[in-house]
Structure 1
């Protein structure tokens, strides 16, 4: 039986491990941290439960499809609830509430801009067609050739790869709040709406059409479920096992070095940060130079706060976006002129608002996220400064005082992304999906310098986000299985 070593245990690594074990390989995972999950780990403190990383459950069909491949269903492992409302967006003078169906969302759009609901239905109809093509055709291709993007469906939409989301939205809607609401989902792809091809409007269908969901107990329940599937399939998992070198002999991978020991395998798949994975190779075996990585557009990093509150908070939902400052200026300070934002947008997540298991009785679990440029200086003083900015704005917009109700707070920022995940420049979501970084233009799933060495995750195909990471694991496993 051929042996495969997988580096890392995030979504893409666990996904690849399950597919490879099902195909009959002997699979062993090496994870540097004490628990599995990669960026999707969990913090449990004083009865409060936090998802350290991803907190949005979109595209439920992709998760369902994954578990179905192993004769399972998501409901075998966790309870999934559709959120209503899906989320709230706080502006300076108004709050937009996104309901759990198109009728409610159209009503809200109509309240803000008369006649906009008809434009919205047309826009989401087109986005749904894009979703079907993207999910069933384009993203299931391994990014080996430009021809993968050429299907009879994409040929008819070729203009959508050269127009941007921003152009598409602004053509139809005039109200700046509605524009921000429709441009927000592509931030999950890690780039400015003005740099993201309009084909990616399928994210708007994922949002308005498929809805926002919550696995009871938090996103970590998905990791636990995937770990269960992997173990049942015979995957061996080693935590506290950082990989210090990828071993190569005669231009063929032979294994890894971990905890001072050489471990041998027929194939190695790295789900760790791609740039870091290449530094585990001797220089002559690396595909990409330092200047290659430096020129790429990365998804933002984040300053995160995990806060335990000793009371239930008012005027909030499970997911809350604070767009009460200049959206465009914050985007420029992430992408065009990287610096700490002068007046940041931020996101606040209160899973205990809908899931009582996430906080002690009468308390609230709060997760705050400020998107920032990767690679910024990260100090305790800066973290405190931005904590105060966010708390003051949060109190003002939700009309309550909360600072005195904080039991504890933990923070996580650029330095932690680097230290805990070996993340390039401390990015939080991998490499952005711009036109020049789509499909075959992303770093390869397969090394072209070292035989039997493969990569998976957010810096390769298909891109950032949890559902794409699951797909990335499938794509890399397909490439290996085809070599049999």
Structure 2
């Protein structure tokens, strides 16, 4: 039976849920508070010719993204040009730098040069990581995680030990590598999973395979091209998108959602999938209808927020690559300030993304497009003076590395984005940027439930539920949510859209 389905939010998980729901034959409406799609992956265009991706900038796990398009009879290449970055990125240390090549054999040679025997150890590490990737990303994360019984099968039981669920990531990495640069290289992908490497399960070495072996890519035009493509796939399935349409209330009766209040008007639906911030979505329900109370959310371990600067420069910046990690300080000190001390970092690390190195369309000719990102604890107060203090720190590092002095004088566009902006624009709990941490206790069934326990036709998708943060997991999350709604038996209400 065809259902009339509402999707709240047009981020990656919402776009995915909408496309799959419409493909199943349902009438699907997406309601987004902003004036266009993308959510945290929105695009910023300036009057003086710069185009910024406001959110994700790493295109990893290309096979997972490609699977989305193949599910609808397309390929990513039908919508945008995908190029391989070489080098994938640079890491800048206090005593040198490490360039990560796109060719795996070249990467082995880099490892061997730093640490004799590390080339063979990289092979062993990646064989295990590939197994985790194929088991984790292609099997485990496809489950709605209503119960641990979903994981009870001979094949999953046989996989349990190989997945290293009970080993911490740092100890696991140090089984293979001892050189501090190689340890940092291997630990980097899990930083945004929301905890220190000591608290992340070794299973997440799958990200090393998904990045370093499958490669780091870039869609020409920016990551927003993926957003645009997913919206178009949805449109071809019949999805209707409604922008500048914030949902302000969820109307319920008799254990079901009856409809949504949007711009003061009630619209009736048979089912709702909330791609909006999970905690915020539940504030639109009466307390007794929520899955979780405030104490629950206060006790969760969140992935970081961040301070971002979108910058345009009137000249090209030497030495910088498309992706550059500035790890000139100790990783653990910054991580402890995020997760243990919950304070502004005393010795900050940061990341620079310069897509104009690859894509001339994102900046005026002869100019440079750059955004700087510093991971932060959630819930921080981020006044302008504090933001500027850290901006000056990052600019000083850039000046040392590029050899260009007085960089601030070359800026012709500058915009900051921080904790309070995440709260204002996305209703993000405590200003989080990356969802919940993927600690062992917050993995699979340990994550907030995808289905409301008291309202049979309300579902959740996105980075605060199954399977977790990141672009590919969010796309998968939308697919799972759509499949759950498709199973739902409905009671039809009178429609009033």
Q: TM-score range by the shorter chain?
A: over 0.9
1:230 aligns with 2:234: yes
1:404 deviation in Å?
2.1
- 1:315-334 equivalent positions in 2, closer than 5 A: 315-334=319-338
1:421 aligns with 2:426: yes
1:215 aligns with 2:219: yes
Range with bigger deviation, 17-26 or 171-180: 171-180
The alpha-carbon distance between structure 1 residues 90 and 380, as it changes in their structure 2 partners (threshold 3 A), is: same
Equivalent residue, structure 1, for 2:371: 367
TM-score, normalising length: structure 1: 0.98
Contact 2:221 2:359 in 1 (8 A): yes
1:10 aligns with 2:11: yes
1:145 to 134, 144, 147: 147
Equivalent residue, structure 2, for 1:243: 247
Contact 1:138 1:148 in 2 (8 A): no
Contact 1:306 1:409 in 2 (8 A): yes
Equivalent residue, structure 1, for 2:409: 404
Q: Secondary structure of the equivalent of 2:238?
A: coil
1:125 aligns with 2:130: no
Equivalent residue, structure 2, for 1:346: 350
1:337 deviation in Å?
1.1
1:435 aligns with 2:435: no
1:150 deviation in Å?
4.0
Q: Secondary structure of the equivalent of 2:22?
A: helix
Q: Secondary structure of the equivalent of 1:161?
A: coil
Contact 1:304 1:412 in 2 (8 A): yes
1:380 deviation in Å?
0.5
Equivalent residue, structure 1, for 2:361: 357
1:57 deviation in Å?
0.2
Contact 2:6 2:269 in 1 (8 A): yes
Gaps of 5+ in 2: 490-497
Equivalent residue, structure 2, for 1:85: 87
Contact 2:85 2:217 in 1 (8 A): yes
1:457 aligns with 2:458: no
Equivalent residue, structure 2, for 1:44: 45
C-alpha distance after superposition, 1:278-307 (max 9, x if no partner): 001111111101000000000100000000
TM-score, normalising length: structure 2: 0.96
1-structure distance, mates of 2:149, 2:361: 48
1:472 aligns with 2:474: no
C-alpha distance after superposition, 1:245-288 (max 9, x if no partner): 11101111111101011111000110000000000111111110
1-structure distance, mates of 2:332, 2:439: 17
1:258 to 259, 262, 270: 262
Q: CA RMSD in A?
A: 1.1
| Number of residue pairs matched by the alignment | 484
Q: Secondary structure of the equivalent of 2:137?
A: helix
C-alpha distance after superposition, 1:358-416 (max 9, x if no partner): 11111110010000001001101111011001110121133322222111210000010
2-structure distance, mates of 1:70, 1:233: 9
Equivalent residue, structure 2, for 1:200: 204
Contact 1:13 1:457 in 2 (8 A): yes
2-structure distance, mates of 1:309, 1:151: 56
2:58 to 56, 79, 87: 56
Range with bigger deviation, 382-391 or 392-401: 392-401
C-alpha distance after superposition, 1:34-80 (max 9, x if no partner): 11110000011111111000000001111111011111110110000
Equivalent residue, structure 1, for 2:167: 163
1:157 deviation in Å?
4.6
Range with bigger deviation, 158-167 or 441-450: 158-167
1-structure distance, mates of 2:182, 2:390: 27
The alpha-carbon distance between structure 1 residues 78 and 373, as it changes in their structure 2 partners (threshold 3 A), is: same
C-alpha distance after superposition, 1:426-470 (max 9, x if no partner): 000111111000001101111011110000000000000000000
The alpha-carbon distance between structure 1 residues 392 and 150, as it changes in their structure 2 partners (threshold 3 A), is: farther
Gaps of 5+ in 1: none
2-structure distance, mates of 1:59, 1:362: 32
1:152 deviation in Å?
4.0
Equivalent residue, structure 1, for 2:112: 110
1:310 to 301, 309, 314: 314
The alpha-carbon distance between structure 1 residues 206 and 49, as it changes in their structure 2 partners (threshold 3 A), is: same
1:149 deviation in Å?
3.4
1:483 aligns with 2:458: no
Equivalent residue, structure 1, for 2:492: none
C-alpha distance after superposition, 1:328-380 (max 9, x if no partner): 01000011110000011100000000111111111110010000001001101
